[in-house]
Amino acid sequence: MGASFYVLTTLVGALSCFFGEAADIPDLRYLKAYTAPNCTGAFYEFFDYTPELSVYAMDNSIISIRFTGDWMLYADNFYNFEVLGSTYYHRTGINICYNLDSPIAGNASSLRYAGSPYGIDDVYYNLYDGWAYSGDEFRSNTDAETVGHMDMRTTSVIIQGQSPWTFYTGLQFTGEAVCLYPTHLHSSGDIQIRTSFVYPVSNLGIPDNSIRSVAKGCLTDNVYRGALPISGQRSAEPLDHN
Ligand SMILES: *[C@@H]1O[C@H](CO)[C@@H](O)[C@H](O)[C@H]1NC(C)=O
Ligand SMILES: *[C@@H]1O[C@H](CO)[C@@H](O)[C@H](O)[C@H]1NC(C)=O
């Protein structure tokens, strides 16, 4: 009995370990930064927020990028926090290569992604201080009765995954509300990314710097149905959200 019990617990241990790893699917998100056009030659591969590319000897040297996910590059350290909304680059895609254009080509000093750190199309939102996803942020995958340090500071919004979100101008889901659905789908092989991105927040019909709380789902009749305010996102299909 003792021996078979031991075998059983070992097996269960091995299985839970297996499922633990299987559930913890390796993140599909990456960004390979190349110092030559067309994603050729040497590269450095990034997986996470990088406030100072100089740490990786990549400051002012990225010319092309191959990536999966929703990534932003900024001309200044710490995501343009000093000059909110200055030179940046934002693209969503799946294993896609872009040559950077002037003025960001050879001029990026920091980079980060939008969306969930846990999975590429997980339900998530990011709120940013400045134009063009710059500066401080508040990010979460759940209701927030206050957005804390980003209270009444949000100018740019990105959402991802298969859920709309409702943004409120009052604390604890009060005040004016607007609902934002993911409006675009990027899809390649098994990978999908649903996203919407908006700035300034006044494009949603609420004042800029007014967001104070956020709830999952579409909890108001005031649904934002505008087109994406930024053009140039290739390979994305519009999503129906009626
Ligand atoms: C990049 O690719 C394009 C299209 O294939 C080609 O016309 C161009 O010459 C390439 N540039 C470099 C620097 O290799
Ligand atoms: C690099 O970005 C900065 C903004 O941080 C801008 O002032 C400058 O003109 C850019 N440089 C080039 C070479 O495009």
Ligand 1 centre and the CA of 235: distance in Å?
A: 20
Asked whether the predicted pLDDT for residue 3 surpasses 90, the reply is no
Atom number, ligand 1, closest to the C-alpha of residue 37:
13
Task: Give me 57's structure tokens.
Answer: 């000897």
CA 233 and chain centroid, separation: 15
Q: How confident is the prediction for the chain on average, in pLDDT?
A: 86
Contact call for residues 138 and 148 (beta carbons, < 8 A): yes
Asked whether the predicted pLDDT for residue 96 surpasses 60, the reply is yes
User: What single string gives the DSSP state of each residue in 181-228?
Assistant: ---EEEEETTEEEEEEEESSGGGGTS-TT---EEEES--SS-EE-PPP
Percent of the chain scoring above 90 in pLDDT? 77
Binning pLDDT at 50, 70 and 90, where does residue 7 land? very low
- The whole-number average pLDDT for the span 2-13 is 38
Asked whether the predicted pLDDT for residue 227 surpasses 70, the reply is no
| Ligand of minimum distance to the alpha carbon of 75 | 2
pLDDT for residue 85: 84
DSSP state of 119: -
Q: Domain locations in the chain?
A: 27-114, 119-227
DSSP state of 104: T
Q: Is 77 in the pocket of ligand 2 (CB under 6 A)?
A: no
Ligand 1 centre and the CA of 139: distance in Å?
A: 38
pLDDT for residue 240: 55
pTM of the model: 0.84
Cα separation of 70 and 93, whole Å?
7
Contact call for residues 28 and 118 (beta carbons, < 8 A): no
Atom number, ligand 2, closest to the C-alpha of residue 60:
1
Cα separation of 117 and 114, whole Å?
9
Q: Ligand 1: which of 38, 65, 99 to mutate, judged by most atoms within 8 Å of the beta carbon?
A: 38
pLDDT for residue 1: 37
pLDDT tens string 147-190 = 999 999 999 999 999 999 999 999 999 999 999 999 999 999 98
User: Which one has a higher pLDDT value, 230 or 152?
Assistant: 152
Residue 157 φ/ψ, nearest 5 degrees:
-135, 135
Contact call for residues 33 and 72 (beta carbons, < 8 A): no
Ligand 2 centre and the CA of 85: distance in Å?
A: 12
Which of 81-85, 104-108, 182-186 is predicted most confidently? 104-108
Residue located nearest, by CA, to atom 7 of ligand 1: 38
Contact call for residues 174 and 129 (beta carbons, < 8 A): no
Asked whether the predicted pLDDT for residue 196 surpasses 70, the reply is yes
Q: Where is average pLDDT lowest: 23-27, 32-36, 147-151, 166-170? A: 23-27
pLDDT for residue 239: 66
Are 27-114 and 119-227 the same fold in CATH? yes
Contact call for residues 31 and 65 (beta carbons, < 8 A): yes
* Cβ atoms within 10 Å of 4's Cβ, excluding its own: 8
Considering the segment(s) 119-227 as one domain, its CATH architecture is Sandwich (2.60)
Contacts of 121 (CB under 8 A, 6+ apart): 115, 160, 161, 162, 191, 192, 193, 194
Question: Which amino acid is located at 12 in the chain?
Answer: V
* Cβ atoms within 10 Å of 56's Cβ, excluding its own: 13
Residue located nearest, by CA, to atom 5 of ligand 2: 75
Where helices occur in the chain by DSSP H, the ranges are 2-23, 77-80
User: Which one has a higher pLDDT value, 198 or 229?
Assistant: 198
Q: Give domain 27-114's CATH number out of 2.60.20.10, 2.160.10.10, 1.10.10.60, 3.30.110.30.
A: 2.60.20.10
Binning pLDDT at 50, 70 and 90, where does residue 41 land? confident
Cα separation of 21 and 134, whole Å?
34
